[in-house]
Amino acid sequence: MKYIRVYFVAIVLAACIAFPSVSTTRLVHAQAPPPSQKDKSKKPNAEEGGQDDQVIKLGTQLVTVPFNVTDKKNKYINDLTKADIDIFEDSKPQQVFSFERQTDLPITIAMLIDISGSEQFTLPTEVSAGKKFFRRVLRAKKDLAAVVTFEGEAELVQGLTSDASKLQRALDDVRISVPSASVSSVGTPPINGNSRAGSTAIWDALFSVSSDLLAPEAGRRVIVLITDGEDTSSRLKMKDAIERTWRNEVIIYAIGIGGPDGVDSGVLKKVTFETGGRAFFPRNTEADLETAFAQIDEDLRSQYILAYQPGNESKDGSFRTIQVKIKNHADLTVRHRRGYFAPSPKGS
């Protein structure tokens, strides 16, 4: 077991170099690559993701922040350089350690589908559009995805795989929950809690998927949440789910769709804003759903990644806010995770 654990840590550290994520103590040594052996005299180009020569103390935490930048017409701004960026932690300016544009990073996606009664009229179009999304987005041996359904419980229908055909078959098995049933038709063990069939526990589901399914994975972690936003039975609060995504570096994208009672757009906008994602509110047609999924795909492929060394080195476990600004461009919208938790004191 010791050798397996050591080997796993080595893999994670190596993977984090290639696939940066938001702040975590696991990235302590991963963000400072060794100098090139080919030409040490050549200075890197900031536009190509290079970084200045800087000295970082051994054991220092680097906070990494994926973010998107769009203009007033929601068009992506893809030509920024390191010199264009200001980064703040708790309103205090920080020095950018590295910066690069990322369009092709591996992604781990959990599609989290509401199967409570409010979704019965839209589920067929959700399934059809979701199948096309997996077919379009997943790259074999690079990206991973899973299908999770939820009502009062969250249930894993298809575990993480890069095989789009398996995910599509899993979507074909998704059914609206029957209130009297204790488990879904798939028959797999629930991720969390006792049976509350027929209700809707969004926050419990987000918490469980972030912790149990996505947290162990390297690279960017994403939840695509398909729901009307009406939580009726969660034991946890929205803030609990959001804080768990902060700790596990998960971005949430929401597709707000449901029955005749409408969608709670405010709730879905809140949870996606806090994690650096976006909320979409398509009409109940497959074409509109496909457009929403396509926008999520484009968003994930149009990110910048920056890293900085926090000026506050206290290991107090506190929450630190992050703010990325574009110099001389107050009209641009920057989307990123709202903050991170500092390392906790030893022994706590």
Tell me which of 49-58, 260-269, 327-336 is least confident: 49-58
Q: 145-164: per-residue pLDDT in tens?
A: 999 999 999 999 999 999 99
At 258, the pLDDT band (50, 70, 90 cuts) reads confident
Count CA atoms within 13 Å of residue 133 on its CB side. Answer: 32
At 301, the pLDDT band (50, 70, 90 cuts) reads confident
Mean pLDDT value across the chain: 81
- pTM (2 decimals)? 0.77
Q: Which residue has the higher pLDDT, 188 or 154?
A: 154
Q: Which residue has the tokens 């050591």?
A: 6
Is residue 12 within 8 A of residue 215, CB to CB? The reply is no
Largest distance between two CA atoms of the chain: 70
Q: What is the pLDDT of residue 300?
A: 87
Q: What is the pLDDT of residue 39?
A: 45
Is residue 305 within 8 A of residue 19, CB to CB? The reply is no
Q: What is the pLDDT of residue 20?
A: 38
Q: 49-76: per-residue pLDDT in tens?
A: 444 445 545 456 889 899 999 999 999 9
Q: Which long-range contacts (CB under 8 A, 24 or more apart) does 10-16 make?
A: 11/218, 12/218, 15/218, 15/219, 16/218
Q: Answer whether residue 197 shows pLDDT above 90.
A: no
Q: How distant is the alpha carbon of residue 98 from its chain centre?
A: 21
Spell out the domains of the chain, with CATH numbers in brackets: 2-33+57-103+302-341 (2.60.40), 107-300 (3.40.50.410)
At 195, the pLDDT band (50, 70, 90 cuts) reads low
Dihedral-angle region of residue 205 (phi above 0 means left; psi in -120 to 50 means alpha; beta otherwise): alpha
Q: Answer whether residue 236 shows pLDDT above 60.
A: yes
Q: Answer whether residue 169 shows pLDDT above 80.
A: yes
At 227, the pLDDT band (50, 70, 90 cuts) reads very high
Summarize the confidence of residues 311-317 as an average pLDDT: 93
Nearest partner of 114 among 130, 101, 98, 99, judged by Cα: 130
At 286, the pLDDT band (50, 70, 90 cuts) reads confident
Q: What is the pLDDT of residue 179?
A: 62
Q: Give the best-scoring range by mean pLDDT among 36-50, 129-143, 234-248.
A: 234-248
At 6, the pLDDT band (50, 70, 90 cuts) reads very low
Give the separation between CA 241 and CA 225, rounded to whole angstroms. Answer: 13
Give the separation between CA 33 and CA 44, rounded to whole angstroms. Answer: 13
Q: What is the pLDDT of residue 33?
A: 39
Reduce the DSSP state of residue 122 to 3 states and report it. coil
Q: 200-212: per-residue pLDDT in tens?
A: 999 999 999 999 9
Q: Answer whether residue 323 shows pLDDT above 90.
A: yes
At 304, the pLDDT band (50, 70, 90 cuts) reads very high
Q: What is the pLDDT of residue 270?
A: 97
Q: 91-128: per-residue pLDDT in tens?
A: 999 999 999 987 667 899 999 999 998 888 889 999 99
Q: What is the pLDDT of residue 261?
A: 77
